[in-house]
Every structure is written in C-alpha cells, then in structure tokens.
Amino acid sequence: MRTLQLSTECAPHEQTDEATIARVQQSLPDSLTLARMSEIFGALGDPTRLRIVLALCRQPLCVHDLSQTLGVSESAVSHQLRTLRMLRLVTSRRAGKRVYYFAGRRACVSPD
C-alpha cells in the first residue's frame, strides 16, 4: 500500500501562489450556503434522523411504517420528521387518511 506524504506547513521563504488562493476562495460556497450545509449535516448527525432519511430514500413511508421499520415510537418519528421537513430533506403527500413521507433528491446519495 502506498502512502502519500504531504507537508503540513509551508516554508517561510516560499512564495504565495496568489492564483491558487484566488481560485480556491472563489470555489468556496457563500456564507448562507455554508450555514445551510451546517444545519443539514447537524441534523443528519443524529442517528435516528439519518436512519429515517435512509429509509425514505428507499421508498415513501407513513409514520407508522417508519416506526415499525426503525423500532422507534411514532411520537419520536414524528418529532424527527418535523426537523427534517424544516430543512426540506423530507417532503410529504397525503393519500386518503395517511401521509407518506419521502426524502428529496438532495438527501439521497447513490452508493455507486
């Protein structure tokens, strides 16, 4: 197995590559996007919310089915869905008396 050795510090006498710095700065998201990304990563840092999103990436489910799938109370599922809906990671649609939840495209990542 090859190991890549990277220097973690620049030598004091090295010249700053202004073009590289400018290119990297321009490629970084704006502060609003970074704040949104931070909220999303924070929400997905909770194991129950992450499991809900992963389950909903497979297929739409109602609260009862999610509860049974994850082994969590319906109340806990509803509470977590509220957070996921606020971040627009999960949406819903009504079918008769049931409400089915599904994860949006940006929440689902293909394992390929």
What is the Cα–Cα distance from 53 to 102, expressed in whole angstroms? 8
Q: Is residue 87 a part of any domain in this protein?
A: yes
CA distances from 15 to 23, 72, 98 (A): 16, 57, 64
The one-letter amino acid code at 1 reads M
Residue 64 covered by a domain: yes
Contact between residue 39 and residue 85 where contact means Cβ atoms under 8 Å apart: no
Tell me how many domains the chain contains: 1
Q: Domain containing 98 — which CATH number?
A: 1.10.10.10
Q: Does residue 12 fall inside a structural domain? A: no
Answer yes or no: is 2 within a domain: no
Tens digit of pLDDT for each residue in 6-58?
A: 556 666 667 778 899 999 999 999 999 999 889 989 888 999 999 999 999 99
Antiparallel, parallel or unpaired: β 90-95 and 98-103: antiparallel
- Look at residue 40 and tell me if it is in a domain: yes
pLDDT digits (tens, 9 = 90+) for 66-94: 999 999 999 999 999 999 999 999 999 99
* Range of the structural domain that residue 52 is part of: 32-106
